[in-house]
Amino acid sequence: MSASGAHKVVIIGSGPAGWTAAIYAARANLDPVVYVGVPKQDPGPVLPGGQLMLTTEVENYPGFPEGVRGPDMMDKFRAQAERFKTRIVDDDIVRCDFSTRPFTLHTGEGGAVRAHAVILATGAMANWIGLENEMRLARTGGGVSACAVCDGALPHFRDQALAIVGGGDTAMEEGTYLTKFAKTVHLIHRRDTLRASRIMQERFLSRPNVKPHWNKVVVDVLGEAMIEGVVLEDTVTKARSTLAVKGLFVAIGHTPATKFLAGSGVELTEKGYVMLRTRSSRTNIPGVFAAGDLADSEYRQAVTAAGMGCQAALDAERWLAAEGVH
């Protein structure tokens, strides 16, 4: 903490971006404080540690040749940050005042904390259908996922019938990825036309192992330990049917966790993501940086989030030095 009573840097969020930022900031003697957040239902689970807390096996993060459970990876990230004396607070930041410096951050428990620099790393939440069994199986690794690129190549999905829900470019891209491994990819869409771009539609629907189901919504997910099927309802006739699948991938978008920035002055895109300056982690407010999925609507991978966390810590360190904060 500086002579003014303000922390040198506060990091908001505890996913790959937040922990990586903490590791770099701590090793640079910036004495970072990480606000990890508290569990919520929104309508799906939002957990400290981010979306990896809902990922059973991570096979595409470098350094883990045998794969690693998402929660275990986040435990390792946290332990590494703690090794370098990062201070960790189990609370939310619910409002930010960036109008004066040092900045003032308001906590969920009604307190306030001051900081010379702030790194925003609260991530984004996958949009879920909101069904009880969907969320249960997502939490327990039962074959329900919101990231086909993350999970679709896992052994228990290979050569199986899989379902993907959605109608935008993300659904088409993730569905196309699944066709490389699945026996059949069932596309479930609530209308009879897709909102995805024409080229993305054609690329996906032209695959021989794709079967579209138009005017259908998922109203239940079947299975105890692992998914066994989904119950579909026709949006026109209301008739119900059962589709046997071994995996369900929900691709109906993401919502960046930026509500706490309302009124803060931080520039957001029209979809609510934090807007960054070119080739940096800098926001429009000097001293406020952002990393990970709350500023990345394109890649949304653990490794890219970690890289952005590194950038944010380095940018914050240089900015603090230029401001004479030691």
Alpha-carbon dihedral sign for residues 239, 240, 245, 248: positive
Instruction: Choose the catalytic residue: 96, 150, 296, 315.
Output: 150
Instruction: Choose the catalytic residue: 31, 90, 96, 151.
Output: 151
C-beta separation of 251 from 165 below 8 A:
yes
d(C-alpha 113, C-alpha 115), whole Å: 7
Decide if 96 is catalytic: no
Q: What is the helix (H) or strand (E) element at residue 316, kind and residue range? A: helix 302-323
d(C-alpha 229, C-alpha 221), whole Å: 6
What are the distances in angstroms from CA 138 to CA 51, 86, 134, 273? 11, 31, 6, 25
Residue 200 three-state SS: helix
Decide if 150 is catalytic: yes
Instruction: Choose the catalytic residue: 92, 96, 147, 296.
Output: 147
C-beta separation of 94 from 260 below 8 A:
yes
Tokens of 50: 């981010």
Catalytic residue numbers, as ranges: 147, 150-151
